[in-house]
Amino acid sequence: MMDALTNLTNGLMSAFSFEMLLVCFIGVFIGQVTGVLPGIGPTGAMAILLPLTFGMDPGAGLIMLAGIYYGSMYGGAITSILVNLPGEAASLVTTLDGYKMARKGRAGAALSIAAIGSWVAGTLSIVGLMFFAPILANAALAFGPPEFFALALFGLIVLSNLTGGSFGRSFLMVIIGLMLSTIGIDLVTGDDRLTFGVLELSSGIDLVPVVMGLFGLAEIFSVALAPYQSSNLIKVKLKDMYPSKKESKRSIWPILRGTFVGFPMGLLPGPAGFMSTLISYKLEKKLSRHPDEFGKGAIEGVAGPESANNAASTSAMIPFLALGFPFSPPTALLLGGLLVHGISPGPMFISQHSDLFWLVVASMYIGNVMLLGLNIPLVGVFASLTRVPVKILMPIITGIMFIGAYSVNNSIFDLWIMFIFGIVGFIMKYCNFEPAPIVVGLVLGTLLEEGLRQGLMMTEGNFLQFFDRPITATLLSISILIVIWAVFRKAIPLKKTTTNNEQEDDINRKTS
């Protein structure tokens, strides 16, 4: 306890430097704007602005990207409440009651409760991050190559369903990501793999242009071809921003319950923010003394989901920093930002880069206070951003992306990689394929291969000896069970359908 407080104090002292305060403010401000603008989302914004962090100190770069991540969670509530248009998926539930409150003249109260709930949830979740991340990292220090292989395999199988879609489609994307991770020179034999005579591919495919293409450029193509329409805003005056005593009282327990719903959800792979808002909304409706008000302007329908959303986004940093596993698309981009600086999050991250870890934790405290200050007085300014024409916004963003992609290695080849994956990402989006599992496969592929090859060297080629190690055996067994269950679950409806068809054929034969 005392060590954590001492480390946090040191982190706060570093975070209060002018440079760190500036990048923290820039990050949360951009995140706020991103959350307001429909279509871009935190993942797209982080992909677009990732190159800006290349020339920064690793701590400053991570603080800015993290600020964009949790700042966008705040901003998404503004247009959900004022325009009935969620800035990102996790804010969808807020529209159910938030917009109804705005139509009744209580937009200010809804926005204030959303901001306060987000701040409370974010702050409490940062406390959880302080204590759980080091514990998880210390437990993972006992891992050897077989454990890392089993952990990577477990991560690939579980994270293949990162966005909650079809398991089969997502796992196919993971396989593609694994194939991409093998491109380049084999570190053991020195042979080129899948380079097809292209010299630039000998060093492998850089994560940054792939991510910028799949998320950023693909999103720009989508918005440019089907631009969103600006809506009439419900204007809110500063004097109307304060909730009534009754609304404040009804919001206290939903905010706390939303925090404790969202925090464990962020520790799980998948669309944690969106799922936590749904669970929180259903929970509040079930516990409410006025369930008939839900969907008509219940303050609990805003307070609970918004708190759950921000708690989940903060707790998602725990498996990312402690294990190196990005359990959400935004944390996958945070991983890319660290890898650019030669820093790999994982079991050794907190011990080897403790100053960086506590700096990030301290900056998240400060960022949450900044967001609370930005949300209440400037809500009208942020909401008016929805009126910015796409023809002005998209060229600026595109220019930033191409400059950023080129600056990674000063290579035209990286621009082609980004452009190709931008087209691929756009086609995938059109065909309802999620690009996030590709990034998971690309990131974890190297860990999987190295763990397997080194583990086989340790066991002299006997893979069955992996099961003699308790942690490895447990992770491998769980992975196998997950795959069997996914296949079995798909086979049951098919079997029932086949049986029904056979019965119909028998009836038809008997009738004829």
pLDDT along the chain (512 residues), means of 10: 72 85 88 69 72 79 83 74 65 79 81 84 84 74 78 76 64 86 79 81 78 77 66 57 80 90 76 74 84 83 87 83 75 77 76 82 84 70 62 73 69 86 88 79 81 85 86 87 80 53 49 44
Q: Which DSSP state fits 326?
A: -
Place of tokens 């005056």: 237
Residue 161 has what DSSP assignment? T
Map tokens 């409490």 to a residue.
124
Pseudo-torsion of CA 76, 79, 81, 87, nearest 10°? -40
- Centroid of chain to Cα 28: 16
Residue 288: burial class (beta carbons within 10 Å; 0-12, 13-18, 19+):
middle
User: Is 79 within 8 Å of 383 (Cβ atoms)?
Assistant: yes
Cα 467 to Cα 282: distance, rounded to the nearest angstrom:
42
**How would DSSP label each residue in 372-414?**
HHHHTTTHHHHHGGGGS-HHHHHHHHHHHHHHHHHHHHT-HHH
CA–CA gap between residue 13 and residue 6 (Å, rounded):
11
Nearest to 415 by CA among 424, 407, 405: 405
User: Positive or negative CA dihedral for 32, 33, 36, 42?
Assistant: negative
Q: How far is CA 452 from CA 148, 339, 445, 457, in A?
A: 8, 22, 11, 9
User: Is the CA virtual torsion 498, 504, 509, 512 positive or negative?
Assistant: negative
Contact 173, 160 (CB under 8 A): yes
Single out the residue of 137, 450, 94, 439 nearest to residue 297, CA to CA: 94
Give the E-state strand segments of 164-293 in sequence order: 184-185, 192-193
CB distance 87 to 31 below 8 Å = no
Residue pair 259/309 in contact (Cβ under 8 Å)? The answer is no
Please give, one letter per residue, the 3-state secondary structure of 432-465: CCCCHHHHHHHHHHHHHHHHHHHHHHHCCCCHHH
Q: How far apart are CA 241 and CA 82, in angstroms?
A: 13
- How much is the pLDDT for 507? 45
Query: In angstroms, rounded to a whole number, what is the distance separating the alpha carbons of residues 444 and 309?
Result: 27
Give residue 504's pLDDT: 47
Q: Which residues contact 450 (CB under 8 A, 6 or more apart)?
A: 145, 148
Neighbours of 341 (CB within 10 A): 16
Sign of CA dihedral 367, 242, 280, 261: positive
Distances (CA, A) of 114 to 94, 264, 271: 9, 20, 20
CA dist 61 and 46 (Å) reads 11
pLDDT of residue 379: 62
Neighbours of 480 (CB within 10 A): 12
* Rounded CA separation 338/287 (Å): 42
